[in-house]
Each structure stands twice: as C-alpha cells, then as structure tokens.
Amino acid sequence: MTLQQLRDFTAIVNQGGVRAAARALGVSQAGLTKSMTKLEASVQASLFVRTSRGVALTAFGERLLEHAAIILRECGRAEADLNQLRGDETGEVDIGVSPAPSIHLVPAVLPEFRRRYPRARLHVTHGLSHSLLPAVRSGQLDIAITPVPEPFDATGLHVIPLFPTEPSVVGRRDHPLAKSRSIKDLADCEWIITGVADSLGAPGSSIVDLFAEAGLGRPNVAVVCDSLFDTLSLIARTDLLAPLPQAVLTHSLMRDGLARIPIREQQKVYTICIVHRASPPLSPITAVLTAMLVSFAKIGRGIRGA
C-alpha cells in the first residue's frame, strides 16, 4: 500500500468513478485502474462494486476510506509542519469553536493572528462539544475551543482550561415571562436546546438538570439545534426559551432583542477549554494560535459574562 494508491483511491470515491477521477488527476484510466488493482491485492479485498450509477464502496472500502482520510491528512500536516520549522509561515489551521468563545474570545484573537501570519489559512468550524471533540480525536480539527463535559475521557488529548461560563435562561426581551423569578414559572414553556439534550454533562443538558432538581419532570424541548445563529433567530421571533452563555447577551447584534430571564436557580458552570491531541505535536503556527488564545483568556478582556 502506498500513499499514491490511497490518493488514487480517495479520488475515485470523491469523483464517483474511475473516468472522472482520471480526468481530475490528469492521468490515464488504465493507470488508475492498475493502481487500484495493486491496492486491492495489497489489502486482499475488493474495495469497489459497480452499480448503475458508477462505483460503490464495499465494507472493506468504507473502512479503508476512513483510514485513508486520516493518513493523507496527517501526511499533509507533517509536510506543512516541517516547512514551518524551515521558516515558511504558510499552512492551514483547522479550529472548532463552540458558542461562548465565538462571541468575544475568538473574534478578538484571530485578527491579530492573521496580521502575524497573513499567509496562513484558517478553517473555523462552529459547533458544540459533542461534535467538536470527536473531530479533534480523529484529526479533522487541530484544536477545539469548547466546554468539556463531565465525565470526559481525555485519554490521548491535552486539555487547557480557559475560563468559566454559566448558562442563563434567554428569551426575547418582550417575552411574556421575561420577569420570572423561578424555573417553576417556566415549566410550561417550550425550549430550544443547542446540541443533544440528553448528553450527560453537556451544556445543553443544563435545563434538563434544572427541571429535574425542581421536580418538574422533563422540559418541553420543541427544537434541538446545533447552530447558534439559528437558535438566536428563533428565540428573537418566538416564545421559545434557551439555556445559553451569558456572553450572547453582550453581542452587539443580539443585546437589544434578547434578555436574561432572572430566575434564582443557578445552572451548572462549565469551563471553556482548548482541546488538542497530545500527539503528534501542534504545528508551529497552531501552537502560536493556541498560546494567543490562552494569553487573551488570562487577561480576561472581552469574555466578561461568558
């Protein structure tokens, strides 16, 4: 098995067939077919089956594709890492960001990072811990800036705590129950949850825990949404409520339309962390970005109310 065979294999999958892959790679169909014949011989399994729509992967092909993606991604990162050690400030950094740090921390740091490394390319993925943390483990993301659920298996990962964040119950400013003082006043409301409400230790489960502690059973979760923007838009236009980081209330685009409902019950405080794989080491420019995020978080500018 060679890297070129894996590149050829992924090209066929991505392009939907040998002919399209050969055209995209600028090689002959015969050469690409020969490469796949050798790859199948090396793994002692058929990787493709022909269908009326082209080719489909066998179970062996599906599994190899997962490994091929990781191998090729790591090879690309190794090459970029070595180039950066030689002084080349190009390269790519893939980061994942959850809602709380996306409000102030990340927007404050990224412009300075771009000024320092104008030739670097940033890929920013917005999401929640249940999707960001597996992406770090698999190598799809270099770092994630997100709450870490409890309990959490950090084997193979390096976790750097940054700052605490406490969810607030958020609704539109003119919500009929905007002045409620207890979660019991909100028992009949409909809720929008970011992420998976039943994920143990996840921020989205805080309202579930709050209802349970008050003896209210389960909240009426009407919407489950991974997008902070969509969540805020729905809250602003409906009577839906949501447990969200207090930082969203300080954002210039949201502070006039949303408000914290001042219930006396406290929700669980979560810690925003930077998470990356313990090995291999971060590339030089990713390490610099991580250090900048840690430094800014320590200073505390822009994360009040996070």
- Asked if CATH classification 1.10.10.10 holds for the domain at 3-81, the reply, yes or no, is yes
- How does DSSP classify residue 203? G
Closest C-alpha among 89, 83, 81, 3 to residue 279: 81
Peptide bond into 167 cis (omega under 30): no
pLDDT at 73: 80
Domain limits of the chain? 3-81, 89-164+271-304, 167-268
10-residue block means of pLDDT along the chain (306 residues)?
A: 89 87 89 90 89 82 88 78 71 90 90 91 90 91 91 90 90 93 94 67 68 89 86 92 86 78 88 92 91 88 44
pLDDT at 55: 80
Query: pLDDT of 127-172, one tens digit each?
Result: 888 889 999 998 889 999 999 887 788 899 999 999 988 888 999 9
Measured between alpha carbons, how far is 70 from 6 in angstroms, rounded to an integer? Answer: 11
Would you tell me which CATH number, out of the four given (3.30.70.270, 3.20.20.70, 3.40.190.10, 3.30.2130.10), belongs to the domain 167-268? Answer: 3.40.190.10
pLDDT at 37: 92
**Any residues with CB less than 8 A from the CB of 82 and at least 6 apart, and which?**
none
Peptide bond into 151 cis (omega under 30): yes
How wide is the angle at C-alpha 270 spanned by C-alphas 267 and 273, nearest 5°?
A: 165
pLDDT at 303: 44
| Size (the chain), residues | 306
Q: Do 89-164+271-304 and 167-268 agree at the fold level?
A: yes
271 close to 157: Cβ distance less than 8 angstroms: no
Superfamily in which the 89-164+271-304 domain is placed by CATH: Periplasmic binding protein-like II (3.40.190.10)
Closest C-alpha among 230, 92, 232 to residue 172: 232
Give Cα separations from 67 to 70, 130, 164 (angstroms).
5, 22, 36
